[in-house]
Structure formats: C-alpha cells, structure tokens
Structure 1
C-alpha cells in the first residue's frame, strides 16, 4: 500500500460481481439482459463448478449464492451495466472482480521488504529467514517475554491453543481448505483427503506452490506425523480441498466464490478456511459479495475463517484487515508470535462495520507440511488461520447439533485474553475446548 493509504498492486480482471435480489434472482438476471445486454452463459447450482464457463469468459450465476460473475465489459456496455445496477431494485450492487493472493514471490530478491499477502512475515523475522523463505531454527522465547516452548512433542502453536490438552480430534467434521491445493501424496495427508476439486483453469488440485499444503497440515495434520513433532490441530478431521489459487498463489474472486459454492454443498464440511485475501484502504467498506456468501454459509451450518492480512509493518505502519476477512460474517484471524505479542505484519481492526480482528492464532515460525512430502516453517496470518479452523472443528465435534452462530459464540467466548489491544487481537487467542 502506498503512504496515502491506497492499496497498491490491486489487480482487476475486467469482470464484475453482481449481487442479485435474494428473493427474486430471476428479476435481476432479466434486468441485466434488458438493461446491459448481459446474457447468462451458465447457471451453477450449489456443489457444481463454474470453472469452464469462467475460463471461456461467459457470465456465470451462482444460484445458491445469488451472485453473478459478469463477463468483461468495456465502454458503453460497462456504463450500461453500472446504470442498470444503480436503477434496478432487482440488483443489490456490483463490484469489480479482483485477483486475490496467497503471497508475493520475491522473497529472495527483497527479504527485508513487506511480503504482500499471507505467507511470510518480516520485520524482526528477517535475521532468521533464508533466501528460500524457510525459517532456519525454531523459536522458543522472543525478547525474554512469554513462555519458553519445547517442540520435542508438539509445535508451540498447538501448545498455545491447547490442542495438546484436549481429547477432541475433530473426528467426523469436514474442514475445507480453500487455497493452492494440496500434496495429497504427502505421507501425513494421503489418507486424510476426503474430496478435492480444482477451480483454477488448466491446473490440477496438486499443490505446485506449497501454501495450501502447509495450511491443511496446520488445521488437520495427524497426531503422529511421519517426521518431527505433532503440528495439526484437528488430527482426525476430514480434509476437503478446493484449489482456488493457482500454483503462483493467485486467484480471482470468481474462482474463490466457485470454491465456496462447492464447499457449501458438502454436508460434512463445517469449517471453511481461507488463508488468502487482498489489501483494502483505510475507510473502505467490506465486500457485499463475500458477505452474502458468508451469510449463506452460516445458514447452511458452516463457518468461514479468513486471514486478517500481512499488510502491516509495525510499529510505524498499521494497515486495515483485508478482504474478505473484513466481512462481518467472516471470522478475521490475526497472528501472534511465540511470546504472545502481535506479529509485526498482522493487520489491525481499523475500519468500521465488520473490519475488526475477531481473534488471533499462532502465526510466527509455524511448522507444518510442505509440498513434495516435506515440512517447512513459515510465518503469516495464513498460518494463524488454520489454527483457528482446527479449533473450530473441535468445537463442532463437541457440539454436533449446534448452529454455526452458536459455534462462533463458543469460539469467541473461549479465547485466552491477551495483553493486546482489541484492534490487534480481538477477543484474544483461540483455545481448544
């Protein structure tokens, strides 16, 4: 983001996301056709995929979400679309489609700069980061504050969220990881993936990046991994994988909504974990598109947790919670370090109307699975988010008949209070029941 608070490197696809009247979506489609000359190429129901239609550039309607992804329009047609949305009661609003990210790839070239997205933190981490982005040694205690951690048996993150103190395992609960895919051949994950699908045109669900595999491991890694300490929170939960980000760590809003639409229709899925996002400016509101999707998920008994973002460069430069985590119906997850201080990159609750941090999870020097059967230590709000997703799965196991709203209440009410501002940590550190 530039010094004036305006996000930089925001990328748009040229398409629009249109919110249809949820009571009469057909009237909205008619308005798009008659007012802007937009015809629907494909109508996608819950659980189906719009990948091919989006790839071909046609207009796609996610019927269960009440959202249309309108093909790229220019000039007079764009003006007609904007005028139609503004004048029709059947159309609630429209937003230009963005490209969201997992992380910026220039780690080796600029190790001391801010890492856009959600993979690597900087500031006080720079001295411990190799050129490939892997932390060279585990953290125990930073600055002489907080507990000293031994990771002989379990990672510091699992200990901090009390995952090592509960008999709950997440058994019978599905956790959907919407990310860069997964290394399904990893020895720790091979028997755990129940269903998977790719929503990235031309790419299989296999993780050519590593970010999705790392997040899946933190949320659902096994009690007894092949190598090293335990690192997974909900060690017996079922893993569902929606590849919505490419092997380059990028994905359009349409791809991500496609993945949400798929996960929403999986009966066993109770948690949707999204370690992805895009920067917003100070004073920006939340996306009504993602808010609609999150509300529909809540009604279907699913909770969305999302990374708050890595745009901050503390202590001098704080940036607001990113999209889609800034939606009121999405749980925004910030990151803490092993000494229980806020991570220097973690975004803050600076915008109104849902733009706050809800809670925090361990997000610095986090060990988990990596592609090609490996393991890696990474930092970011991306790493904090699956800790929260895993604890949410434990709560669902403990309370199988609860509503999604009740689970959210239990999650917020069971946190550990930290000596941090609510704008940084929300209710506090997530805790296993």
Structure 2
C-alpha cells in the first residue's frame, strides 16, 4: 500500500541515517517513464487487470492541485500523470509486482528516499547582520517582486509572524496529519529571506517583499523530514498555481559516483515547460578542506538550479557541497553564512543561522525580482538572467557556479 508509517514518530536523525544507509529509504518506489511522450496506460493495465491492484491518479480527484497522501493512501500506486512520475507501494508479499512490471522496460524504478531540511549551522552570536542583502545589491534594486508568485517548499510557515501581516499567502500541507504551520523554524527562516521585508526594528532581511507567497509544507515534525513523494506533490501544487519561482531548501545526501533521480528531472522539466523555475540547495555535507561531498538530491538534477553558499568574504562556506559527480553542475552562489531572518515567534521572532538552505532563498527572491523586471521571460530566460548577471568568484566553478547572485 501507498500508506507510510505514522509520521507521529520522528524519522531517524541525520546522524542515524548516515550510520545506517537503509534508513534513507521509505520502502516505496518512484516510477518514472523513460520517454516523455509515453503514459502510464500499460503500467495501469498490468497492475489493475493482471495483478488486481488498486491504482489512483491525479485525474481521479476534483481538486487535483491539492491532493495529499491521505487521499490515496489505500491505493497500491498513485500516478502524477502531468509530471510523468508514479508512487508505488510494494509490500513484501507483492514482490511479484516489480517482477511483472520489469519486463516492460519503459520505466525506471527508484527507491523513495527520506528528505530533510539540512541541519542549520548555528552561530554563537545572534546578530542582525543582513550582509547578504547588501552583497547581492538587493538594497539598491528598484524591484520588489510585485505580482510574482514564489513558492517555498519546506517545513511550513509561522502565519502569526507580525512581519507578514497583510501579505498574500496561500498554503497547503502535504505532510500527513500536520497543518502548514511551522514547528521547526527552517521554513519560516527561508520564507523570510526570499519574501520578507524588515524586522520590528526596521532592519531589512528579505528580498522580494511584494511577492505573493505560496507555502507548501513538505517536511514535517520538529526535525523537518519528509519523503520524495511529498516533495513531488508540492512541486505539482506550486506549478498548478502558476508559481514562477519554487524554492527548495531541502535534500538528501548523494555519494560519489551516484547519479541523479529521474523522477526529479521529470518533475523539473515539466515545471520549466509550465513556467516554473525550481531552485534548490546543494547541501551541507562537506567539511572543507578535508572532506568535500557531491551536490545533494534533488539539486543535482540538470533541470533544477543548484545553489552553493558563500560567506561575507565571498568564499565558499566550509559545509557547501561541490559539483563532483559526472553530469552535475553548480549553477550559482548565494549568501549562506550568518543569515538573519524570521523565525517561529513561539520561540523567538528572528534567528541567525547558516547553510545552503539560507543561500537558496536569496537566489529565489532575486529570481522573483528578475521575474518582475522581465514579466514575459520563460524560466530558462530567468535562469540565464541570474547566471549571466552573477558576480564571478574564484575557481573552481564546481564550488561557485556562475558566481554570486546579484539583484537587477
């Protein structure tokens, strides 16, 4: 069955997952068609008519853009037909499903992984430094993201935060049994950087302060963890709502030599065709200079813009990953060390933390400024504007990409 184990019990911590690789996986599978012009009709025939299994698809639901796992948890397969990806639940006594499907050879099965909000690199001094706003020329820009829809797929948002009073915010939770409210803080911090404005003292920390905010909660619990299918559902929702920019400060670790997931490439290419640019964190798995790791998933997908983190000296952050694996590229860099932004008010209204998660919403917010300046630009043209106008930094390009993102 599709149903995942109860999310009331937290998934393994980051450290536990690294010590036990089996904990990376949910036991379910992502099925991606190998050719974009194909559909799932043959697969459905095998599952329904030959094996007698229950298959659900987005077209079965009236409100297609807001379908969550609860609606299809009793099915054996859920098909996201628009993006060409399906979620397959195979119990131990259903192993013949994989065998029956494998002879078709027109799709790829990939284990569904646990996805995390990367552990933030906390600072000992909680200051109000918003150096990133200055370094990227955001404070000099005449654009505010007005009329641009920016989706933040993360741990949710603190909708009671006073800095966002009067803002247009739409939300949806794809985490079973949880509302879109943020109980972690990570999502509120990323939203603040991408779409916020000023704090209670008038200090500016946000980029696209006039943008329309779309909060997709795809990571749950206090630790901020989820699954590939929740992320894909969030992408589908954001694209359906015509969000020009989709910011994802999340991911799973990728090891040297490991390729990217076809499921995310399918989703990202669909998003680009529909007018949405996905921007994702490259990951915090490195410990420079001695241990440097590859770009994480899904940022390692060719059709997703990957983001590295730099410090206030515009040097690559010690934790930022590198484009090591074949076929991967670091696209651009953003301020990711000592970033001050909003937080959940039940704890404290603001927080200063570090990570590629913090660099990503800088890029996403600035992409929103470019979308306002060039309203008829396609996502590929926005991508090109971001990279062509970036401030070149030191080599290697695998660390920095095109350089530091700059506002128009």
What is the TM-score normalised by the length of structure 2?
A: 0.89
**Where do 1:62-141 residues align within 5 Å?**
62-74=80-92, 77-78=94-95, 80-89=96-105, 91-102=106-117, 118-121=118-121, 133-138=122-127
- Write out per-residue CA displacement over residues 271-316 of structure 1, whole angstroms, 9 at most, x where no aligned residue: 0000000001101111000000000000001000000000001000
Aligned ranges for residues 4-403 of structure 1 at < 5 Å? Answer: 8=21, 10-20=23-33, 22=36, 23-33=38-48, 38-43=53-58, 46-56=64-74, 58-74=76-92, 77-78=94-95, 80-89=96-105, 91-102=106-117, 118-121=118-121, 133-138=122-127, 151=129, 155-222=130-197, 224-247=198-221, 248-267=223-242, 269-353=243-327, 355-372=328-345, 374-403=349-378
TM superposition shift of 1:58: 4.2
Kept in 2: contact 1:119–1:383 (CA 8 A): no
Secondary structure of the residue aligned to 1:188 is helix
User: Could you tell me whether the CA contact under 8 Å between 1:157 and 1:362 is conserved in 2?
Assistant: yes
Instruction: Report SS of the residue matched to 2:213.
Output: strand
Provide the rounded CA distance (Å) in 2 between the counterparts of 1:379 and 1:159: 17
Distance 1:246 1:58 in 2: 23
Distance verdict in 2 for CA 1:239–1:319, change over 3 Å: same
What secondary structure does 1:172 align onto? coil
Preserved CA contact (<8 Å) 1:183 1:370: yes
Q: Is the 8 A contact 2:193 2:362 kept in 1?
A: yes
| Corresponding residue for residue 11 of structure 2 | none
Query: What is the deviation of 1:388?
Result: 0.4
Q: How many residues align?
A: 385
Local SS of the residue matching 2:306: strand
- Contact 2:143–2:372 at 8 Å: present in 1 too? yes
Q: Please, which moves more after superposition, 160-169 or 30-39?
A: 30-39
Tell me if structure 1 keeps the 8 A contact 2:39–2:81.
no
Q: Which runs of 5+ in 1 are unaligned?
A: 103-117, 122-132, 140-150
CA pair 19-429 structure 1, distance change in 2 beyond 3 A: same
CA shift at 1:177, angstroms? Answer: 0.3
Residues 93-137 of structure 1 deviation map (CA, whole Å, 9 limit, x = unaligned): 1111111101xxxxxxxxxxxxxxx2423xxxxxxxxxxx45414
How big is the shift at 1:325?
A: 0.2
Mapped to 2, the partners of 1:411 and 1:7 lie a distance apart of: 39
Report what 1:424 is aligned to. Answer: 399
Q: Which runs of 5+ in 2 are unaligned?
A: 1-13
In structure 1, distance between residues paired with 2:100 and 2:135: 52
CA distance in 2, matches of 1:10, 1:233: 37
* Shift of residue 28, structure 1, vs aligned partner: 2.8
Deviates more, 1:39-48 or 1:374-383: 39-48
Q: 2 CA distance for matches of 1:49 and 1:33? A: 21
Q: Counterparts of 1:35 and 1:377 in 2: how far apart (Å)? A: 56
User: Aligned equivalents of 1:119 and 1:29: distance in 2?
Assistant: 39
Partner of 2:7: none
1:406 aligns with 2:381: yes
Structure 1 length normalisation: TM-score?
0.84
CA contact (8 A) 2:56 2:72 kept: no
How far, CA to CA, are the matches of 1:12 and 1:54 in structure 2? 20
Query: Counterparts of 1:39 and 1:278 in 2: how far apart (Å)?
Result: 30
The 3-state SS of whatever aligns with 1:290 is: helix
Q: CA deviation at 1:167?
A: 0.1
Q: What's the offset of the Cα at 1:37?
A: 5.2
